[in-house]
Amino acid sequence: MHLGATIRLLRVDAGLSLRDLARRIGVSSAYLSRVEHGQDAVPTPERLTAIAHELGVPPAMLLDVSHRVNPLVANYLEQVPGAGAVFLDIARRQLTSAQLTRVREFLNAEFPMRDASREEVSPALSPLLAPERIILQLSCSSVEDARDMAVERICAACPGLAASQLTDELERREAGASCSVGNGVAVPHAALEGVPSVAALVTLAKPLKHETPDGQPLRVLIVMVGSERGRPWLMRLAHVARLSSHGLATRLQEAQHPREVLSHLQELEALL
């Protein structure tokens, strides 16, 4: 289950044990373990909100990953039933991502939100990338080969960072919990003191069989490094999980140039 993998990934990076998080949200460790491994139903919006608060990320991010309706939306539809017709109209028109971005721009210009209603902005992935750190249609036999290619590109952008140091830290983190977030995406990552926030992205010519939470083969690898800690780092990881849940791997599958990847990514991030 994509959501469970995301919860586990964030929990490990937050430094919480399964028992700690379960106790904080008032459930059993056995129940939380089943959720993390996709063996139980997706938690209710209320419970997801509690989990998000304990992990230090905005509830909207976990709700979006799980494709649960945000309670804010549900409450609004109850108060203003006519809003449902607008949502239905958008669905009937089958608006594209670019068209939805234009709708959002219109709303922001004509009906700006009050500060109290404004949600915390997700830290975008696209600014961490550059064309030289985007590797397309890589043919390789293992996830480690793809990771090593990404490590080379990252180290070229971070003078003083040795490939062996970064690889060791990525492997140490992976040993704590899988960095695969489902939908064909994995996000190996390392927090290293004094290293700028940088990412490399690899698309695979042929999907790789790999241990994933939803059984889907791996199609995209996003390797991230930085010195951020706590909430900013966790929000960045949650944001990547959110992108994957919105079909990131499928969007990037046919990209032939790094700038296409950046364009697709920026378009998707504008909607989230």
pLDDT in tens, the chain (272 residues): 479 999 999 999 999 999 999 999 999 999 999 999 989 888 998 999 999 999 999 998 998 888 766 666 767 777 887 887 887 788 889 887 778 778 878 888 888 876 544 556 668 999 999 999 999 999 999 999 999 999 999 999 999 999 999 999 999 999 988 999 999 999 999 999 999 999 999 999 999 988 888 889 999 999 999 998 889 999 999 999 999 999 999 999 889 999 999 999 998 888 87
> Which one, of 187, 128, 146, lies nearest residue 9 by Cα?
187
Q: How far is CA 245 from the centre of its chain?
A: 8
- Find the radius of gyration of the CA atoms of the chain: 19
Q: Say how far apart CA 148 and CA 22 lie, in whole Å.
A: 36
Cα distances (Å, whole numbers) of residue 49 to 46, 57, 62, 69, 207: 5, 9, 8, 12, 34
